[in-house]
Structure 1
Amino acid sequence: MGTAEIEIERHDRVTHGDYVAQLPDVNGTAKLSWTMREGVRHAEHTFVPPAARGRNIAAKLVEALVSDARSHGFKIAPDCSYVERYFDRHEELADLRA
């Protein structure tokens, strides 16, 4: 399974939520969890099953979060170390960083 086929589901519960990718080829789920505090979406945890790592799945989850931030006008606090590294590598996202 290539990353092109990965579909990201958004589970938005107003104050918290997840970006989820079902990974049928590894019988698992990748997830980026967030909480909203004072208008900022805090990216708290990113998980990709070990068998699916190295395929840019975590990046796809962050890209969905970034897309939503651009569409809905919120900032992102990259509390998760993966999301922080992603922001550090993509200087064009500085305006979204809380």
Structure 2
Amino acid sequence: MEHNYKLIHNEAESQYEYHIEGMLARLVYDNQDGVLHLTHTFVPKELGGRGIAGALVKDVFEDIKKRGLKMKPACSYIVNYVEKYPEYEKLQ
């Protein structure tokens, strides 16, 4: 699914962000020695049902891959996403 959301890596807050219609969708992580423990995905309910969470997780995974890092899903949404798209298992 194509989208026009711009992924922002807010390292100071340890999160990836989309700013959409004045609201913040985010994926929070904890960087432990180059392994990003992905702890929380949040999309405001006003933006729900538009595939934003899935787009955010995919963009974050692509950024992790591009940067040569590893990730550990610690959020049920992200665990389920990896099960649905097993090509991202190699990032673990």
- Scaled to the shorter chain, the TM-score interval is 0.7 to 0.9
Matched residue type, 1:20: E
- Cα distance between partner residues in 2 of 1:39 and 1:8: 20
Name the residue aligned to 1:4: 3
| Contact 1:19-1:64 at 8 Å conserved across structures | no
User: Alignment RMSD, CA only?
Assistant: 1.5
Using the size of structure 1 for normalisation, the TM-score is 0.83
Q: CA deviation at 1:57?
A: 0.8
Q: Show structure 1 runs of 4+ deviating over 6 A.
A: none
SS of the residue aligned with 1:61?
helix
Identity, in percent, stands at 30
Residue 30 of structure 2 corresponds to residue 45 of structure 1: no
SS of the residue aligned with 1:73?
coil
| Contact 1:17-1:35 at 8 Å conserved across structures | yes
Equivalent position to 1:74, from 33, 50, 69:
69
| Contact 1:9-1:21 at 8 Å conserved across structures | yes
Q: Which has the larger radius of gyration?
A: 1
Name the residue aligned to 2:89: 94
> Structure 1, residues 30-85: CA drift from partner, whole Å, max 9, x if none?
11011111321011111000111111111121112211221111111110111111
Using the size of structure 2 for normalisation, the TM-score is 0.88
